[in-house]
Amino acid sequence: MSAATEQVTALEDAHASGVYGMRPLVLERGQGARAWDTDGREYIDLMAAQGALNVGHCHPKVVAAVEEQLRRMTLCPPAVYSPQRAQLVERLCALAGMRRVFLSNSGTEANEAALKFARVSTGRTKVVAAKRGFHGRSMGSLSTTWDPKYRKPFEPLIPGVEHVTYDDLEALDAAVGDGTAAVILEVVQGEGGVHPASEACLRGAQALCRERGALLILDEVQTGFGRTGRLFAFQRYGLEPDLVSLAKSLGGGLPMGATLIGERVAALPSSSHGSTFGGNPLACAAALASLDAIEGEGLCERAERLGAEARATIAGWGLPVVKDVRGLGLMIGVELRKRVTPALKGLQERGVLALPAGNQVLRLLPPLVIEEDELAQALGQVHACLEAL
Ligand SMILES: Cc1ncc(COP(=O)(O)O)c(C=O)c1O
């Protein structure tokens, strides 16, 4: 480890909040699906900043748009009109088939807004969420996140949230009632282990919500922007959610969140919700450039094809340590019969960065711009590493 690397880790270890389980890695530069550490080591990055870099590190279109916007204007109050914001909200509505957009800065904020819209719109307070679901860490969103390790230290959370088995329509049927404001679901659970929901359950959830006067919130924070082979995962099944939460890859690498609002959702009282940085022109310019890249470079189709090939390759290895290979598009989960931490460490030593999803699932979220030979090289290392476990 170089002196520069040691200095960075020492400073963070001493002064950063300590809420993260840190990896011994200092990243300082990225381009496309590659990243470099402070010792000049190159990695193929299948973390993509927790799925926030679908267009890769420093996409040239995003860099150019941000550079231009940076010189023009970075911040404009949300109560003043902005050309970049106007373009972005119109484009998101057209792409998702929704009516309005509330812009914020993160996934948890996107869900907070969705929950507020659901309460006001229905006049109800109960929320049905899923076991293994992850919706963020601020108090409202955290109340719908399932894993006790995130929730327990901060209880009591907001009341009235029931967690039911994921992808189980009967369980939803039993839970959604007169007092239910919303059902909140991920189309593919990410943090919970990369579990896609069945079309039947998602359609059933939508029908139940309509029938019982509740709103359907789909959390596409991780699945959005081409990750699963469609711009939004719900579009694969022709769903019409009432609210959709977005963040991660929305901003092309800049922080941004969005809550898409459908026809059945009532407006919030004026000034009852807001965000100082939400919809700032810099993030909007980055998001517009990122959408240009996703559409112009056919990244959804690319994710669909490369993801199916990668999952078939991994399953084809027939490795005893692999219990299951699942996912949609380039959102790939490899469930192991052993703990995933040694695999992640081994991969990093072999120049590949990957993520866990729980204790036994290796999660691969390559940037959708990854070159085919880069992906093949990375999968070669995954194979070598899993074989050696
Ligand atoms: C599905 C989902 N929702 C919400 C969030 C929270 O997003 P953020 O960390 O931007 O608040 C995440 C983050 O991993 C997520 O995967």
Q: Could you read off the pLDDT of 284-305 as tens digits, one per residue?
A: 999 999 999 999 999 999 999 9
Band of the pLDDT at 349, cuts 50, 70, 90?
very high
**In the prediction, which pLDDT does 44 show?**
99
The pTM score is 0.98
What are 383's two structure tokens? 């194979």
Helices 341-349, 372-387: inter-axial angle, 10-degree rounding? 130
1 band by pLDDT with thresholds 50, 70 and 90: confident
Residue 154 has pLDDT above 90, yes or no: yes
Overall average pLDDT of the 249-277 stretch: 97
Ligand 1 binding pocket mutation candidate from 53, 108, 111 (most atoms within 8 A of CB) = 108
Please determine, for residue 107, whether its predicted confidence score (pLDDT) is greater than 90. Answer: yes
**15 pLDDT higher than 90:** yes
> Is 292 in the active site?
no
Q: What is the pLDDT of residue 259?
A: 99
Whole-number Å distance, alpha carbon 246 to ligand 1 midpoint, is 9
Phi, then psi, of 354 in degrees rounded to 5: -135, 175
Q: How would you class 203 by CB atoms within 10 Å of its CB: exposed for 0-12, middle for 13-18, buried for 19 or more?
A: middle
Ligand 1 geometric centre to CA of 177 (Å) = 27
pLDDT at 86: 98
- Residues of the chain within CATH 3.40.640.10 domain(s) are 60-296
If you average pLDDT over residues 165-190, what whole number do you get?
98
**β-sheet bridge partners, residue 333:** 326, 363
**Helix or strand (DSSP H, E) at 331:** strand 331-336
Average pLDDT in the chain: 98
Alpha helix (H) residue ranges in 152-280 = 169-175, 199-212
Give me the pLDDT at residue 57, please.
Answer: 98
Give CA–CA dist 284/66, Å, rounded. 9
Say what the pLDDT of residue 55 is.
99
Q: How far is CA 371 from the centre of its chain?
A: 22
Which of 141, 248, 355 should be mutated for ligand 1, with most atoms under 8 A from CB? 248
Whether residue 4 has pLDDT greater than 90: no
Instruction: Cite the DSSP H helix spans in the chain.
Output: 3-15, 48-51, 60-72, 83-96, 107-122, 139-144, 148-151, 169-175, 199-212, 281-296, 299-316, 341-349, 372-387
Q: Is 338 a catalytic site residue?
A: no
Q: Whose CA is nearest to atom 8 of ligand 1?
A: 107
pLDDT (0 to 100) of residue 52: 98
Residue 126 contacts residue 179 (beta carbons within 8 Å)? yes
Please compute the mean of the pLDDT values over residues 322-347 and round it to a whole number: 98
**Average of pLDDT values for 160-166?**
98
Q: Band of the pLDDT at 17, cuts 50, 70, 90?
A: very high
Tokens 């959708």 locate to 368
Task: Point out the catalytic residue in the list 102, 134, 232, 234.
Answer: 134
Pocket test for ligand 1, best of 19, 47, 134 (most atoms within 8 A of CB): 134
Q: How far apart are CA 77 and CA 115, in angstroms?
A: 24
CA–CA dist 327, 188 (Å, integer): 8
Topology classification of domain 60-296: Aspartate Aminotransferase; domain 2 (3.40.640)
Tell how far the Cα of 134 is from the centroid of ligand 1, in angstroms.
Answer: 7
Rounded Cα–Cα distance for residues 261 and 44 (Å)? 37
**For residues 1-21, average pLDDT:** 94
Q: Which amino acid is at 230?
A: R
Residues with CB under 6 A from ligand 1: 50, 106-108, 111, 134-136, 186, 190-191, 219, 221-222, 247
What's the pLDDT tens digit per position in 208-242? Answer: 999 999 999 999 999 999 999 999 999 999 999 99
Name the active-site residue from 117, 219, 232, 242: 219
Q: Do 33 and 45 form a contact (C-beta atoms < 8 A)?
A: yes
Ligand 1 centroid – CA 317 distance (Å):
32
The CATH H-level superfamily of 3-58+298-387 is Aspartate Aminotransferase, domain 1 (3.90.1150.10)
Closest protein CA for atom 9 of ligand 1: 107
Three-state SS for 237?
Answer: helix
Please determine, for residue 43, whether its predicted confidence score (pLDDT) is greater than 90: yes
**290 CA to middle of ligand 1, Å?**
19
134 tagged catalytic = yes
Every domain range in the chain assigned CATH 3.90.1150.10: 3-58+298-387
Q: Name the residue at shortest CA distance from atom 3 of ligand 1.
A: 135
What residues are paired with 331 via a beta bridge? 328
Confidence (pLDDT) at 2: 87
Task: Give the mean pLDDT of 164-185.
Answer: 98
Mean of pLDDT values over 104-124: 98
Q: Cα–Cα distances in Å, from 203 out to 56, 232, 244, 272, 295?
A: 32, 15, 15, 32, 27
